[in-house]
Structure 1
Amino acid sequence: MLLIFIGSFVQTAIGFGLAIVSAPLLFVISPSYVPAPIVIVALFVALLNAIKYRSDVSVGGLKLALYGRVPGSIAGGFLLVMVSSQMLSLWLGLLVLFSVVVSLLPFRIDPTPTRMGIAGFFSGFFGTSSGIGGPPMALLLQHQEANQLRGNLAAFFVFSSIMSLIVQIPFGYLTLHHLWITIPLLPPAWLGYFIARKTTHSLPKDKIRYGALVLCLVSGLTAIWQGIMG
C-alpha cells in the first residue's frame, strides 16, 4: 500500500511513474502483484487524471500510438508465458533502469506519427508483460506543457491499460485472485492522487522528478538483484 501511494503520487505529479516506482518491489513481495494488479491500479489513477485534465487531452495525436499498442500488448502477453518469474524480475529491473536513462536524456525527440506508432507498440509490449508501459510514450511527450503531458499520458494509459488487461485474461494473468488482491491497493492510490493534487503546485517539479528517479533506481536494482540471485 505504501509503494502504491508513492507511485500514485509520482504519477499524478509528473504524468507517469506508478509502475516504475512500485512494480519491481511489489514483485519481490509477491509475483502475483505484477502485472495485472499494477495495471488495474494504473488504470484507476489514469482515469482520475484523465478526468482532471480532460481539456488538455489531444486524442488525435494519440491515435497512432493506440494502434501500435494492440500488437505490442499481444506480444507482451506471449512473453509472460515464455519466461520464468526469475527472468521477469530481471526484466522488470532492466526496464526501470531504462526508464531512468530515458528520463535523463537531454535531447528532444519530436513525436512524429511513425514514432508515436513505434512508442505505442513498445508501450504495449512493456506494459502487458511488466505493467511498465509509460517510458516510451513519456520519452516522446516529455517536453509538452505540464498539464498537457499529464492529460495526454493519462488518456493513453486509460485505453492502453484496458488493452493490457484484456490480453492478460487468456494468458491467465488476470483472474479473480488478482482482482481480490488489488482491492486494498485502490485507497492508497486515491490518497496519493489526492495529496499530489493538493501539494505539487507548491513543490518544484524537478525535485519531485529527481526524487522519483532515485526511488526508481533503488527499485530497479532490487529487482535485478532478485532476478540474478533467484
Structure 2
Amino acid sequence: MISEWFTSEALLAAFLIFVGAFVQTSIGFGLAIVAAPLLFLVSPDYVPAPIVLVALFISILNAMKYRSNIEIGGLKIALMGRIPGSIAGGLLLLYVSGDVLALWLGVLVLLAVVISLMPFRIEPTPTRMGIAGFLSGFFGTSSAIGGPPMALLLQHQDADKLRGNLSAFFVFSSMISLAVQAPVGFLTLHHLWITIPLIPAGWAGYQLARMTTGSLPKEKIRLGALMLCSISGATAVWQGIAAM
C-alpha cells in the first residue's frame, strides 16, 4: 500500500539515500558506503537490492552528465571481472545470516575508510582492474558496497573523469548485481515497491550536489563523507557483534 511509503521507517530510509546520493554525486562514489549499514538497521530489506537500484539511477544521471569524460576501453576488463565476482557475492547471500551480513557491511565500510586515507598511489594496470572488478562484484552484490575497489585505482584521475568513469562502471555493474540478486531471492516485487520512494530522495541528493559541488571544496566533502562512513560502519559492526 502507498501508506507504507510514509512510515517513519520509510522516511528515514529516504533521508539516508538523500545523503548517500549527495555524496556519490559529489565525489564519484559513496551512496552505499554512507547508507547501507544504517539502512540495514532500519530494515534488512533495504540491503542490497534497493540500494543497487537507486545507485543505478544515480549512476545513469552522472554518466550522462560526465559522458565526455568516460573512457569505456579502460573499464572493459573490470566489467569482465565483475561478472564472476557478482556470482560469488550472490552465493554469499544464500549462506549468511542477517547478523553476519550486518557485521560484513560494517567491516567493509571501515575498510573502505582506511583505504581512502592511504597516501600511496596504485596504478590501474589491466590485471589490477580485473581484480578490482571482481572484488567490486563480490562486495557490491552481497552488500551493495562495490565502489571502493574501483575508486582506489581511479582516485588520482581528474575529478570529472573520476566521476564519469565510476558512474559508467556502476551503470553496468549495478545491472550485473541485480541480475544475480533476482534468482537468489534478493530482488523481488517487494524490494521494487520499497525502492519507489527512495528514487525521489536520490534525485534530490543528486540535484543538491550539482548545485553545491562547485562551491564546496572536494576535500571537505570527502572528509565529511569519511566521517559519516566511520560512524555508520562502527554502528553496523557493534550491532552485528551484539546480535551474535
* TM-score band, normalised by shorter chain: over 0.9
Alignment of 1:179-190 (within 5 A): 179-190=192-203
Identity %: 73
Query: How many residues get paired?
Result: 230
Partner of 1:138, secondary structure, is: helix
| Matched residue type, 1:58 | E
Alignment of 1:109-120 (within 5 A): 109-120=122-133
2:166 alignment partner in structure 1: 153
Match 1:84 to one of 83, 86, 97: 97
2:148 alignment partner in structure 1: 135
Structure 1 runs (4+) greater than 6 angstroms displaced? none
* CA-based RMSD: 0.4
| Matched residue type, 1:48 | L
2:77 alignment partner in structure 1: 64
Distance of 1:108 and 1:25 partners within structure 2: 30
Distance of 1:53 and 1:102 partners within structure 2: 25
| Matched residue type, 1:60 | G
Give the Å deviation of 1:102.
1.1
Confirm whether residue 204 of structure 1 aligns to residue 220 of structure 2. Answer: no
Partner of 1:211, secondary structure, is: helix
Distance of 2:112 and 2:99 partners within structure 1: 20
Distance of 1:83 and 1:222 partners within structure 2: 19
Unaligned stretches of 5+ residues in structure 1 = none
Partner of 1:28, secondary structure, is: helix
Distance of 2:80 and 2:98 partners within structure 1: 29
| Matched residue type, 2:49 | A
Distance of 1:201 and 1:108 partners within structure 2: 26
Match 1:214 to one of 203, 206, 227: 227
Alignment of 1:29-40 (within 5 A): 29-40=42-53
Distance of 1:49 and 1:173 partners within structure 2: 26
Distance of 1:147 and 1:25 partners within structure 2: 29
Match 1:99 to one of 112, 125, 135: 112
Give the Å deviation of 1:124.
0.1
2:18 alignment partner in structure 1: 5
| Matched residue type, 1:201 | G
Distance of 1:201 and 1:104 partners within structure 2: 23
Give the Å deviation of 1:19.
0.1
Confirm whether residue 195 of structure 1 aligns to residue 195 of structure 2. Answer: no
The superposition leaves residues 159-192 of structure 1 with CA deviations (integer Å, 9 ceiling, x where unpaired) of: 0000000000110000000000000000010000
Give the Å deviation of 1:197.
0.4
Distance of 2:241 and 2:35 partners within structure 1: 19
Confirm whether residue 51 of structure 1 aligns to residue 64 of structure 2. Answer: yes
Distance of 1:221 and 1:208 partners within structure 2: 20
| Alignment TM-score, normalising by the size of structure 2 | 0.94
Distance of 2:160 and 2:119 partners within structure 1: 21
Unaligned stretches of 5+ residues in structure 2 = 1-13
2:31 alignment partner in structure 1: 18
| Matched residue type, 1:50 | A
Give the Å deviation of 1:136.
0.1
| Matched residue type, 1:195 | L
| Alignment TM-score, normalising by the size of structure 1 | 1.00
